[in-house]
Amino acid sequence: MNMMIKAYRRKLDVANGRVDLSHGAGGRAMGQLIEGIFHKAFDNDWLRAGNDQSAFSVPGGRMVMTTDGYVVSPLFFPGGNIGTLAVHGTINDIAMAGAVPLYLSASFIIEEGFPFADLERIAQSMGAASREAGVPIITGDTKVVERGKADGVFISTAGVGMVPDGLGLRSDAARPGDAVIISGSIGDHGVAVMSRHENLEFDTDIVSDSAALHGLVADMVAAGGAHIRLMRDPTRGGIAATLNEIASQSRVGFRIDEDKIPLKPEVAAACEFLGLDPLNVANEGKLVAVVAPEGADAVLAAMRAHPLGSEAALVGHVVADNNCFVQMTTSFGGGRIVDWLSGEQLPRIC
């Protein structure tokens, strides 16, 4: 025992070492892992206090809270990794309420034998993403499971934010005549992860669109918050699932135009090669907004003025439809029903 304790007084061998069960056992080794990797990556006053929780002050008003889990495979993909995805995804869930994200938590389930170097890379990228977004990770937890009981590392997050006064976005608020706006090209994230997962190479690099959208949302709210009915980030299941979910909750239908949906040629080609419908492919840095017709132009202009909304497009409208169908006019002038994704098109995409 004394030899073990003495051994773990040495600095972590990040370059060559691996996580073992002692790093989740609550002893010196666990403390060293937390200090040497997580506190170093996420450094802030809350974590330096060393408490099992973090206390914080919030302005008056309505709060929103979200929680999420991340099991993406592979852990590293073009344009990001599981760490950046966890930060961006949690922030975006808060932002879709029109809220200002304030704080995050992060919990790690780590498999025995996972390399310190990969864990540090993930943690450092999470810290950088949270600092860039201005939303600190202020508390967390670490567990280690036996080899074969996890796939490298899984991350669970939670986030809190504040909703501006007078803003009340609701999933059942879409009304016939409302405009449907997408903030940019679809399918980038899903194709980027799929290409790495299947060891595919394309002539043009396709990278994930993973990004924190709260700055874009703030500009949209400032330009036309009173006219925004609701917002969603079309992650798993893509645009198709998002529109079908809204249609079902609002008891309306949608009519969208395929030619107006932003789609990179290389992503379209990759989807055709892989047999994927781009409308079903996940996104991690895009949003769908349903906006009252009188505010659509102002909101669209604000989106296009922001770097993350420069490709924003009005792609269709809400229609009265008791069947809650999402219908699309195709590039060939025909029409088709855009249905929910059936089965698992892209496993472990986020």
pLDDT level of residue 2 (50, 70, 90 thresholds): very low
Residue 298 burial (10 A CB sphere; 0-12, 13-18, 19+): middle
Over residues 151-175, the pLDDT tens digits come to: 999 999 999 999 999 999 999 999 9
Q: What is the mean pLDDT of the chain?
A: 93
Q: What is the CATH number of the domain that holds 236?
A: 3.90.650.10
Is the domain of 154 the same as that of 190? no
Q: Cα separation of 20 and 115, whole Å?
A: 10
Q: Which tokens in the block code for residue 124?
A: 């450092």
Q: Residue 68 in 3-state DSSP? A: strand
Residue 324 lies in a domain: yes
Is the domain of 292 the same as that of 320? yes
Residue 343 lies in a domain: no
Query: Among residues 163, 195, 210, which one ends one of the domains?
Result: 163
Residue 344 lies in a domain: no
Is the domain of 309 the same as that of 230? yes
- Number of domains into which the chain is organized: 2
Is the domain of 158 the same as that of 196? no
Is the domain of 154 the same as that of 302? no
Residue 89 lies in a domain: yes
- Matching residue, tokens 């997580």: 38
Over residues 295-324, the pLDDT tens digits come to: 999 999 999 999 999 999 999 999 999 999
Is the domain of 107 the same as that of 237? no
Over residues 35-94, the pLDDT tens digits come to: 999 999 999 999 999 999 999 988 888 999 999 999 999 999 999 999 999 999 999 999
- The residues, any chain, with a CB within 8 Å of residue 265's CB and separated by 6 or more, are none
Are 326 and 245 contacting, i.e. CB atoms less than 8 angstroms apart?
A: no
Structural domain for 255, as ranges: 178-337
Q: What percent of the chain has pLDDT over 70?
A: 95
Cα torsion through 12, 14, 17, 23, rounded to 10: 50
Q: Cα separation of 64 and 148, whole Å?
A: 36
- Matching residue, tokens 């992060």: 106
Residue 170 lies in a domain: no
Is the domain of 216 the same as that of 87? no
pLDDT at 199 over 80: no
Residue 169 lies in a domain: no
Query: Among residues 108, 136, 163, which one ends one of the domains?
Result: 163
